[in-house]
Structure 1
């Protein structure tokens, strides 16, 4: 499994196409949720994904503070294979990248409620009441990054 970390302008057309396809496969088709995936945040995001010979297996985007939240943001987290640690692996890579590239102390995200325990195991804590986003229950979660993380 190869870890890739790229800014938008570093992605090839094939990489961008594959990212958008896997996001549509998971968020639109699998979750039966019609929503506007292309939100202009991809252009300012760092795209982190795990790829093997079968293509992208896990993906997320990391967004600088001030674009979505006051804090840095993680979004569009997906894993084609569940319960293999791939989501945890890319989330930890995003935390490391945020520390190195953005010198930040907090990361925030909107998690689907069913995934709460994944984020809690990494150290995120719930910081909002439950809300519906595109008809799916979500909560906001935040991670306070310590120097020793």
Structure 2
């Protein structure tokens, strides 16, 4: 994937048109509820306060992540998706680097947290995240909490 092939778009929910927001939420439901056969509250009330990061290819969302501002601890990256048509292209790494950069810009000097599906732990480790919990099951899928230290802090390996 070359840099010219995609663009990064970060904005709040109210900045999307109805058509853009519908497409974004449909992608999330298609992957997290339908594809993963996981009945859970996808629309969880957190979208209005979040930043929504999209990687666009030819104007369409190829990958997405939701960035939540710190509440009790650190900013969080969640709802990480690469659209099925773009999987295997390396776009997951591009998406996560863009999400890390966006967290650094909006929440400077803070560690970044996420809840990783356990099978993706090696991928997130490669981006500097370290496990902070034992494995647990959320919505029928094994997960592990992970944190990426703030820039300038030494990372554990």
TM-score (norm 1): 0.91
CA distance in 2: counterparts of 1:104 and 1:76, whole angstroms: 23
Matched, 1:140 2:145: yes
RMSD of aligned alpha carbons: 1.5
In the other structure, the counterpart of 1:36 is 41
CA distance in 2: counterparts of 1:104 and 1:36, whole angstroms: 32
Matched, 1:75 2:78: yes
Give the greater-gyration-radius structure (CA): 2
Distance 1:10 1:28, change over 3 A: same
Gapped runs of 5+ residues in structure 2? 1-5
Quick one: which of 121, 128, 136 aligns to 2:126? 121
**Alignment length (residue pairs):** 146
Gapped runs of 5+ residues in structure 1? none
Asked if the contact 1:72/1:104 (under 8 Å) is kept, the reply is no
Q: Which moved more, 1:92-101 or 1:15-24?
A: 92-101
Asked if the contact 1:98/1:104 (under 8 Å) is kept, the reply is no
Q: Secondary structure at the match of 1:122?
A: coil
In the other structure, the counterpart of 2:3 is none
Quick one: which of 108, 128, 131 aligns to 1:103? 108
TM-score (norm 2): 0.87
Per-residue deviation, 1:83: 2.6
Asked if the contact 2:115/2:145 (under 8 Å) is kept, the reply is yes
CA distance in 1: counterparts of 2:149 and 2:141, whole angstroms: 26
Asked if the contact 2:13/2:51 (under 8 Å) is kept, the reply is yes
